[in-house]
């Protein structure tokens, strides 16, 4: 296989970075705004495009590439972190977007993870994936999101000792404000965005509100891991294989207020409650087990889920690029505007959704919401509203007061 590794042209970088500077972010400004001393200029130059791997398609066997689609650009943040360490190789292998879908990976890291990011690029190069047409790395989101068709936003800071949820919302919220603006400026106008970094619902809201040029519908918060965990518990309890489980929806926030919906779940096409005839188990074991699964894993393993999270990101993408089976659904946190369940507008809220496989989706409108479900959904909605008020200054909203300070912590310990 022929390929070449090229240093990126400096002129293009300088042009874009300067344009970005005039528009805001501290991250970018630091790198290029002021008349920079020579050392800083060199650093900026090297911070992006150290690796740019492009295969020479001219001399390739056309029988291999003739049926391939147009290359898509996938930006990934937190690209040298634990989740990405699994996900990037799944993306490059073709098992997510399809075996006829070439991709370009555009990887964003933080200043601290620059070296590690180079290591990731080297690993990708050495893996010789034919569908991986290009790898580029950087620390400037305006550059890295350039023309991205997908943005998988995984990078976030972990919660430090003694840090409250409100502090985490602020700290990571600022990252998503900057990156939302960068998406707005640089990404494809129909970029699909999946936010993984926690607190993912509110981070997705912040990114969305800072990216008015991209449709609000295109922003997702990852709740697919919660769905997969719920399916696993139903499979274990019923003794049926997980592929027989359908309509397993997660409602609300990716926190312990999330609502794994056993009311509408099916096992082998039958209501789950007809197969597992134990309402006490559903309410007192199933529901908390799913919501607290992340914390339980950390206790056993000493770190938060990475491989299963990567699998769930892959599942979330596949759910958007392949048609949903008739009657089934997938869970994803999306904008609540105009939803059929009376959840207030303006929140990123997990709903049961379905897709035609064109990258878009609609919220399923035929889920039964009984009183138990309604009360749980309302509690998660209230929590998301409070989170929104805590970050009002990051989304151009006036007058929000953060009532989460000192409140009960509903985030799985160690998950953020
Ligand atoms: N939604 C979910 O279901 C789910 C599940 C598991 C983990 N998570 C969250 O995913 C996030 C990542 O988890 P991980 O295990 O990969 O963490 P990690 O600490 O291994 O990796 C995070 C990476 O992000 C980078 N980073 C930090 N700030 C950045 C910025 N401003 N721009 C770009 N990169 C930046 C860090 O340098 C680090 O390499 C965490 O917030 C975690 O809580 C979400």
Query: 83 CB under 6 A from ligand 1?
Result: yes
pLDDT band for 62, please (50, 70, 90 cuts).
confident
Note the pLDDT of residue 125: 87
Q: How far is the CA of 257 from the centre of ligand 1 (A)?
A: 21
Report the DSSP beta bridge partners of residue 353.
330, 363
Note the pLDDT of residue 412: 52
Note the pLDDT of residue 36: 33
Query: 313 CB under 6 A from ligand 1?
Result: no
Does 46 map to a domain? no
97 shares its domain with 171 = yes
Q: Could you read off the pLDDT of 84-127 as tens digits, one per residue?
A: 999 999 999 999 999 999 999 999 999 898 889 999 999 998 89
213 shares its domain with 272 = no
Closest-CA residue, ligand 1 atom 21, reads 81
152 shares its domain with 251 = no
What does each C-alpha distance from 106 to 121, 126, 196, 318 come to in angstroms? 10, 17, 17, 19
DSSP 179-213: HHHHHHHHS-TT-EEEE-SSSHHHHHHHHHHT-TT
Q: How far is the CA of 154 from the centre of ligand 1 (A)?
A: 5
309 shares its domain with 386 = yes
Angle between helices 165-186 and 371-390 (to 10 degrees): 80
Contact 196, 154 (CB under 8 A): yes
Residue 77 has φ and ψ, to the nearest 5°, of -100, 160
Query: 329 CB under 6 A from ligand 1?
Result: no
Nearest to 370 by CA among 276, 306, 283: 283
DSSP 277-327: --HHHIIIIIHHHHHTHHHHHHHHHSS---HHHHHHHHHHHHHHHSPPPTT
Q: How far is the CA of 374 from the centre of ligand 1 (A)?
A: 32
Does 191 map to a domain? yes
Is the complex ipTM higher than 0.90? yes
Sequence-distant (≥ 6) Cβ neighbours of residue 261 within 8 angstroms: 248, 249, 250, 251, 352, 367, 373
Q: Is the pLDDT of residue 326 over 90?
A: yes
pLDDT band for 33, please (50, 70, 90 cuts).
very low
Query: 138 CB under 6 A from ligand 1?
Result: no
pLDDT top residue among 314 and 47? 314
Q: Could you read off the pLDDT of 258-286 as tens digits, one per residue?
A: 999 999 999 999 999 999 999 999 999 99
Ligand 1 atom at minimum distance from 254 CA: 1
Query: 197 CB under 6 A from ligand 1?
Result: yes
Query: 141 CB under 6 A from ligand 1?
Result: no
Does 351 map to a domain? yes
**Top mutation candidate among 31, 107, 140, 154 for ligand 1, by most atoms within 8 Å of CB:** 154
Give 363's Cβ-side CA count (13 Å radius).
23
Q: How far is the CA of 150 from the centre of ligand 1 (A)?
A: 17
Q: How far is the CA of 389 from the centre of ligand 1 (A)?
A: 23
User: Is the bond into 214 cis (omega within 30 degrees of 0)?
Assistant: no
- What CATH number should be reported for the domain holding residue 355? 3.90.110.10
**Top mutation candidate among 83, 86, 156 for ligand 1, by most atoms within 8 Å of CB:** 156
Per the listing, tokens 């874009």 go with 16
Per the listing, tokens 């089934």 go with 328
Note the pLDDT of residue 28: 24
283 shares its domain with 193 = no
Q: Whole-model pTM?
A: 0.88
- Print the domain residue range for 367: 224-394
Q: Could you read off the pLDDT of 390-414 as tens digits, one per residue?
A: 999 999 887 667 887 666 666 654 4
Contact 194, 331 (CB under 8 A): no
What does each C-alpha distance from 398 to 1, 354, 394, 395 come to in angstroms? 56, 35, 10, 9
The structural domain count of the chain equals 2
Q: Could you read off the pLDDT of 346-379 as tens digits, one per residue?
A: 999 999 999 999 999 999 999 999 999 999 999 9
Q: Which of 165, 197, 221 is the last residue before a domain boundary?
A: 221
Tokens describing residue 381: 């909605």
Note the pLDDT of residue 407: 64
251 shares its domain with 278 = yes
Query: 200 CB under 6 A from ligand 1?
Result: yes
176 shares its domain with 191 = yes
- What CATH number should be reported for the domain holding residue 89? 3.40.50.720
135 shares its domain with 245 = no
Does 407 map to a domain? no
Ligand 1 atom at minimum distance from 195 CA: 1
């Amino acid at each position: 296989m022929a390929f070449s590794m090229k240093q990126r042209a400096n002129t293009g970088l300088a042009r874009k970075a300067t344009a970005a500077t005039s528009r805001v972010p501290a991250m970018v400004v630091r790198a290029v705004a002021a008349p920079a001393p020579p050392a800083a200029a060199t650093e900026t130059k090297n911070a992006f495009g150290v690796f740019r791997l492009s295969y020479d398609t001219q001399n390739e066997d056309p029988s291999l590439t003739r049926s391939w689609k147009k290359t898509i650009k996938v930006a990934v943040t937190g690209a040298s972190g634990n989740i990405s360490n699994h996900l990037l190789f799944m993306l490059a292998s073709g098992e997510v977007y399809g075996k006829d879908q070439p991709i370009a990976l555009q990887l964003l890291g933080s200043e601290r993870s620059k070296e590690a990011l180079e290591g990731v690029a080297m690993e990708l190069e050495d893996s010789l994936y034919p569908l991986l047409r290009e790898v580029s790395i950087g620390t400037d989101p305006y550059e890295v999101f350039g023309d991205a068709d997908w943005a998988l936003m995984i990078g976030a800071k972990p919660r430090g000792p003694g840090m409250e949820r409100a502090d985490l919302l602020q700290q990571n919220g600022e990252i998503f404000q900057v990156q939302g603006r960068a998406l707005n400026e640089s990404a494809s106008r129909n970029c699909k965005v999946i936010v993984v970094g926690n607190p993912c619902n509110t981070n997705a809201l912040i990114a969305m509100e800072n990216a008015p040029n991209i449709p609000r519908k295109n922003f997702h918060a990852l709740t697919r891991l919660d769905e997969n965990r719920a399916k696993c518990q139903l499979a274990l309890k019923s003794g049926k294989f997980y592929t027989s489980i359908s309509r397993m929806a997660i409602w609300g926030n990716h926190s312990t207020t999330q609502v794994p919906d056993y009311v509408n779940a099916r096992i082998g096409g039958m209501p789950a409650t007809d197969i597992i005839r134990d309402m006490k188990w559903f309410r007192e074991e199933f529901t908390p087990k799913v919501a607290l699964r992340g914390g339980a894993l950390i206790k056993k393993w000493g770190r938060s889920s990475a491989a299963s999270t990567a699998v769930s990101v892959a599942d979330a993408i596949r759910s958007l690029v392949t048609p949903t089976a008739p009657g089934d659904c997938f869970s994803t946190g999306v904008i609540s505007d105009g939803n059929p369940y009376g959840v207030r507008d303006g929140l990123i809220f997990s709903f049961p959704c379905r897709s035609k496989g064109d990258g878009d989706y609609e919220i399923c409108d035929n889920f039964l919401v009984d009183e138990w479900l309604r009360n749980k959904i309302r509690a998660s909605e209230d929590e998301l509203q409070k989170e929104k008020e805590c970050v009002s200054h990051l989304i151009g909203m006036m007058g929000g007061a953060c009532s989460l300070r000192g409140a009960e912590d509903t985030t799985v310990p160690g998950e953020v």
